[in-house]
Amino acid sequence: MRIDVLTIFPDMFQNILEESILKRAIEEKKVEINIINFRDYTEDPHNKVDDTPYGGGAGMVLMPQPIFDCIDHIKTNESFIILMTPDGIPYKQQIAYELSNKKHLIIICGHYEGFDERIRSICDMEISIGDYVLTGGEIPAMVLIDSITRLLPGVIKEESHQNDSFSENLLDYPTYTKPRVYRGMEVPEVLLSGDHKKIEEYRRTESIKKTQDRRPDLLEK
């Protein structure tokens, strides 16, 4: 998979791409990630990418020209274009699965007070990562990159994400490691039993209990 990110703050992405699982996935060519500064595409003599809103109001609005021209330059028949915006559809694990099957994602990071409405016309999907407003689409874009890359074949063991929270509209079951007793808290006996059927039953029951308790809305689905 190739992911191109359009941003005016490319440096924000450096650390997350150079650590841990994302770093390895890039090195092993499971994913190619290009961070593109769309300011490079502006035709403005002063390199501007934003301007004041028509009709008045606070703040600056991203202009369509640099983003349209950048997209024209990088888009292929296989591209799927996503706009990060708080008024997009709520991001869910199911969408991460769907996007992990695409060949080429282009993620546009909105910024400041907003973006020219016409930018929406070139997007296949608009995504919000939650009901709160961030200063820009960069952190939401990182959320997408991380959640999608870990689902790509060979990036992490497949069984690791088969059991993820949300994979079946259930939250994840509790897990334990050594020591067997820590500060008086014991590992549930069944996990030490070696009985795989019982362990599976225990995990499923705990998953359902936790989901009932914390996220009953998921069970209604």
Percent composition of the chain: helix, strand, coil (DSSP 3-state, to 5)? 40, 20, 40
According to the binding rule CB under 6 A, does residue 128 interact with ligand ADE? yes
Q: How many residues bind ligand ADE (CB under 6 A)?
A: 12
Q: Please tell me whether residue 7 binds ligand ADE under the rule CB under 6 A.
A: no
- Is 43 a known active-site residue? no
Pick 66 or 110: Cβ nearer ligand ADE = 110
Angle at 73 between CA 5 and CA 36, to 5 degrees: 25
CA distances to 76, 150, 151 from 101, in Å: 16, 12, 9
| Residue 134 binds ligand ADE (CB under 6 A) | yes
Peptide bond into 53 cis (omega under 30): no
Binding mask 157-196 for ligand ADE (x = CB under 6 A): ----------------------------------------
Which residues in 65-84 contact ligand ADE (CB under 6 A)?
A: 84
Is residue 102 a contact partner of residue 1, using CB atoms and an 8 Å limit?
yes
Whether 113 and 57 have beta carbons less than 8 Å apart is answered as yes
Told to judge if 164 belongs to the known catalytic residues of this protein, a careful annotator would answer: yes
Out of 40, 69, 146, 164, the active site residue is 164
Interaction between residue 59 and ligand ADE (CB under 6 A): no
Residue with tokens 């069984």: 159
Q: Is 130 among the residues that bind ligand ADE (CB under 6 A)?
A: yes
User: What residues are paired with 89 via a beta bridge?
Assistant: 127
Catalytic positions are 86, 113, 150, 164
> Which chain residues interact with ligand ADE by CB under 6 A?
84-86, 110, 128-130, 132-134, 137, 140
